[in-house]
């Protein structure tokens, strides 16, 4: 059985369609990445899957529960770490966790043991009686994660969990996410960081309320770039109009990347002639496409 099953899910606010007939499933124990620009419908989808928002149309099953069973049965099985900071900064770490335990009606003995274990799991080495507002950003995220895990959920939804966190804290946080997945928890995560997306088992790319691509990072790269991707650099200045002539003669795309350009070739003979014409002024390397290349291509494709 899948942890999350969504079919033809649509969410409308008045006349605005935030999520438009999306269908996907997430397997148990998977790390599922959810990508897309702000406003693409990621957070709305997560709010449905965590029982906060009723779908306008479509079917949703989360941890075997559907909205027909009541939103609360969904809420009791999922953990949610919202994009916004959801701890009380005028309460201490232990007061925050005690409040969450009480709110979720976890028996005190169970919650005491879990708080201990989870704080150890995230490597929290600060005093639990410190006010949350006095903690550094990374530690706040750790405590938020503990709060989201207190009721031992089957699925954990993390909405941009590493936004505004230092790179060191980010990589540590991802080690925790992998640890949770190994324990058998399903992780559903949104991010804007491509290196984080690479960590996911599968990723879905959302655009304007629709899922425009869904697969493993490797598979997405292979599908989007059937032809080799080349990185070129003009060592002695680029001739005027080269991009246009290259696109006419046999390149599927030419995308600038800093001082370089990434070129996707679909007519090898034409490409070889082009390189021949510019020998000495052009260095060419074959590269593996990054997820960023993939998304630029996918989004361009969707726009066309």
User: Where do contacts with another protein occur on this chain (CB under 8 A)?
Assistant: 50-52, 72-73, 75-76, 80, 82, 84-91, 95, 98-105, 147
Q: Are 178 and 102 in contact (CB under 8 A)?
A: no
Count of helices and strands (H, E) across the chain: 11, 14
Q: Toward another protein, which CB reaches closer, 102 or 239?
A: 102
Q: Toward another protein, which CB reaches closer, 43 or 290?
A: 43
Q: Are 6 and 59 in contact (CB under 8 A)?
A: yes
At closest approach, how far in Å is the CB of 117 from another protein?
A: 20
At closest approach, how far in Å is the CB of 275 from another protein?
A: 54
Q: Toward another protein, which CB reaches closer, 157 or 225?
A: 157
At closest approach, how far in Å is the CB of 193 from another protein?
A: 21
Q: Toward another protein, which CB reaches closer, 56 or 267?
A: 56
Q: Toward another protein, which CB reaches closer, 87 or 294?
A: 87
At closest approach, how far in Å is the CB of 100 from another protein?
A: 7
With a CB cutoff of 8 Å and minimum separation 6, the contacts of 192 are 35, 160, 163
Q: Toward another protein, which CB reaches closer, 86 or 166?
A: 86
Report helix, strand or coil for 96. Answer: helix
At closest approach, how far in Å is the CB of 303 from another protein?
A: 33
Separation CA 61–CA 99 (nearest Å): 28
Q: What is the largest CA-CA distance in the chain?
A: 76
At closest approach, how far in Å is the CB of 158 from another protein?
A: 13
Residues 5-38 as b or e (16 or more Cβ within 10 Å = b): bbeebbbeeeeebbbbebebebeebbbbbbbbee
Separation CA 275–CA 222 (nearest Å): 25
At closest approach, how far in Å is the CB of 281 from another protein?
A: 54
Structure tokens at 114: 């879990």
Q: Toward another protein, which CB reaches closer, 56 or 76?
A: 76
At closest approach, how far in Å is the CB of 97 from another protein?
A: 11
With a CB cutoff of 8 Å and minimum separation 6, the contacts of 176 are 121, 122, 142, 145
Q: Can you spell out the DSSP letters for 33-94?
A: EEE--TTSSHHHHHHHHTTSS--SEEEEEETTEEGGG-HHHHHTTEEEE-SS--S-TTSBHH
Q: Taking the CB of residue 39, how many other CB atoms lie within 10 A of it?
A: 13
Q: Taking the CB of residue 256, how many other CB atoms lie within 10 A of it?
A: 9
Q: Toward another protein, which CB reaches closer, 87 or 291?
A: 87
């Amino acid at each position: 059985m899948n942890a999350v099953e969504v079919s033809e899910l649509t969410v409308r606010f008045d006349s605005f369609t935030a999520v438009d007939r999306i269908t996907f499933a997430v397997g148990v124990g998977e790390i599922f990445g959810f990508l897309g620009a702000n406003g693409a419908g990621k957070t709305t989808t997560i709010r449905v899957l965590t029982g906060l928002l009723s779908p306008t149309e479509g079917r949703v099953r989360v941890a075997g529960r559907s909205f027909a069973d009541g939103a609360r049965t969904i809420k009791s099985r999922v953990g949610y770490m919202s994009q916004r900071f959801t701890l009380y900064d005028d309460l201490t770490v232990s007061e925050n966790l005690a409040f969450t335990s009480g709110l979720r009606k976890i028996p005190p003995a169970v919650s005491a043991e879990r708080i201990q274990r989870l704080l150890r799991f995230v490597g929290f080495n600060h005093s639990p009686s410190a006010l949350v507002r006095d903690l550094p950003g990374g530690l706040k995220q750790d405590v938020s994660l503990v709060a989201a895990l207190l009721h031992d959920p089957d699925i954990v939804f993390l909405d941009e969990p590493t936004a505004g966190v230092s790179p060191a804290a980010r990589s540590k946080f991802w080690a925790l996410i992998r640890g949770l997945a190994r324990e058998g928890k399903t992780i559903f995560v949104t991010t804007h960081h491509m290196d984080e997306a690479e960590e996911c088992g599968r990723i879905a790319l959302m655009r304007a309320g629709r899922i425009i691509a869904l697969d493993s990072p490797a598979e997405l790269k292979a599908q989007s770039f059937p032809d080799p991707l080349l990185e070129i650099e003009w060592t002695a200045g680029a001739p005027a109009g080269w991009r246009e002539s290259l696109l006419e003669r046999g390149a599927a795309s030419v995308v600038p990347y800093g001082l370089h350009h990434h070129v996707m070739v679909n007519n090898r003979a034409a490409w070889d002639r082009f390189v021949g014409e510019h020998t000495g002024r052009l260095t060419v390397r074959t590269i593996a496409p990054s997820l960023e290349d993939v998304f630029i291509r996918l989004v361009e494709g969707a726009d066309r």
